[in-house]
Amino acid sequence: MSQNLQALETESKKLHEIPTSNPPYQALYLHIPFCAARCSYCDFVTEAITTDSAAIDRYLDDLLADVREAFDQGLLNDLKTVYVGGGTPSHLGQDRILFLLQELRGYLKDAKIKEFTLEANPDSLVKLDLPALKKLGLTRISLGVQSFDDLELEILGRIHDAREALEAIYQIQASGLDLSIDLICGIPGQSLDSWLNSLQQVEELMLDHISIYPLSLEELTPLAVQLEEGADEFLELPDDDEQAADMLLSESFLGRIGLKRYEISSYSRPGHESKHNMIYWTGQPYLGLGKGAVSMAMLDACNLTGEVKNGLSSLSQPVRIRFQEREIVDELDSEEAAAEDLMMRMRLADGISEEELRHLSSKLPKARQSLDKLVKEGLLEYQHKRYRPTQRGWLMGNCIFETIWDLVS
């Protein structure tokens, strides 16, 4: 057994000291850190593992113990969405996913779940009995297609091909589950023509939701090392202008077929937006459980005893924190929390309204001044009493986020 897997199991055996939140959690994220194989660009908290490994069963038992603790504390009663992500949750296989959904069903009995998403890859999705999962409350699949070009999939280290991706999509559509797919642009060796071909598949398949991500390579990932060493003279990471051209083509093409960009990376037909992700982007509390999961909550100081417990200490005032592996990884004061809310709103195509800005301005008195500056720079527009990112602002989002974070730095 690898040292990474041993460390993962050790961590997963520790129960979370879950803080009571006010307002209550609206979304639950469960992390499954297992895959059949790690992709060449991946730097996520995942472990390649065989499906017959007992480590998976031990991890699920510990994950559900955390869910039970959250349930016992009354933290799941107000949930609106559940998202099982990874990793590759579909790699668990039919029996384990059935077990997970059956257990969750009991813990979520008092919640009114509007959306329940499972992440999947085509190679393992095609082995699942989706109608059986749907009966247990699953409503949506987020499918990691990434490309409909076999050569591009090989470069990314994906273990499925375009045929399997299509087969998985047909299977999901036949089941009646909602479907979103992920695609990646800016892949080394990718041309505008091959990218357009992947977009045309979206039209032919009549998809309702798609997420598009420009490839971003972290240091020491296999693909980054391959490109740095020049192992293949024909492979080169596209520059910013080429990636921008891909994104502009995406918006134009998808807009013509009825898919509107409603967030930096997300397109949907009306009514098919991701409810779970909208909770993230509108600053509502969410609970993340599992290896590498992150939560966002407002902590009420009166609920803490004043003693340190698993990395959580007493707080002099209500603040928003994100915690991971039972240790605080980022503690935000009220001004920083307001700035983060404003940044998240700037991810959305609709931006932020006057009313919402007035609320945040009580903590960020110079927020309007900064947004007006971004309007002058052409990164935002002000129309109908809303500040919205322009197309230039969409492509240069980091400039917007940096300006907003400067309000508290």
386-406 per-position pLDDT tens digit:
999 999 999 999 999 999 999
pLDDT higher than 80, residue 315: no
- Per-residue pLDDT, 67: 94
| Structural contact between residues 151 and 189, judged by C-beta atoms closer than 8 angstroms | yes
- The band of 233, judged by pLDDT with boundaries at 50, 70 and 90, is low
Place of tokens 């693909």: 223
What gap in Å lies between CA 120 and CA 181, rounded to an integer?
Answer: 10
Place of tokens 């039209």: 203
- The band of 324, judged by pLDDT with boundaries at 50, 70 and 90, is very low
Instruction: Please state at what angle helix 192-205 crosses helix 162-175, rounded to 10 degrees.
Output: 20
Of 322, 294, 260, 288, which Cα lies nearest the Cα of 81? 288
pLDDT higher than 90, residue 267: yes
Domain 3-279 classification at class level? alpha beta
Q: How do residues 343-362 score in pLDDT, each as one tens digit?
A: 999 999 999 999 999 989 99
31-40, 163-172, 313-322, 364-373, range with the lowest pLDDT: 313-322
* Domain ranges across the chain: 3-279, 350-405
Greater model confidence, 340 or 292: 340
0.95 exceeded by pTM = no
Q: How do residues 4-36 score in pLDDT, each as one tens digit?
A: 444 444 443 333 344 444 679 999 999 999 999
What gap in Å lies between CA 184 and CA 166, rounded to an integer?
Answer: 16
What gap in Å lies between CA 109 and CA 328, rounded to an integer?
Answer: 30
- The band of 238, judged by pLDDT with boundaries at 50, 70 and 90, is confident
**How large is the average pLDDT for residues 125-133?**
98
Tally Cβ neighbours within 10 Å of residue 408. 17
- Per-residue pLDDT, 154: 94
pLDDT higher than 70, residue 220: yes
Q: How do residues 48-62 score in pLDDT, each as one tens digit?
A: 999 999 999 999 999
- Per-residue pLDDT, 224: 82
Main-chain dihedrals φ then ψ at residue 46, nearest 5 degrees: -140, 165
pLDDT higher than 90, residue 126: yes
- Per-residue pLDDT, 386: 97
Q: What is the mean pLDDT of the chain?
A: 86
What gap in Å lies between CA 352 and CA 337, rounded to an integer?
Answer: 16
pLDDT higher than 80, residue 301: no
- Per-residue pLDDT, 348: 97
**How large is the average pLDDT for residues 220-228?**
83
Q: What percent of the chain has pLDDT over 90?
A: 71
- Per-residue pLDDT, 293: 85
**How large is the average pLDDT for residues 243-265?**
96
Q: What percent of the chain has pLDDT over 70?
A: 85
**How large is the average pLDDT for residues 277-297?**
89
- Per-residue pLDDT, 237: 81
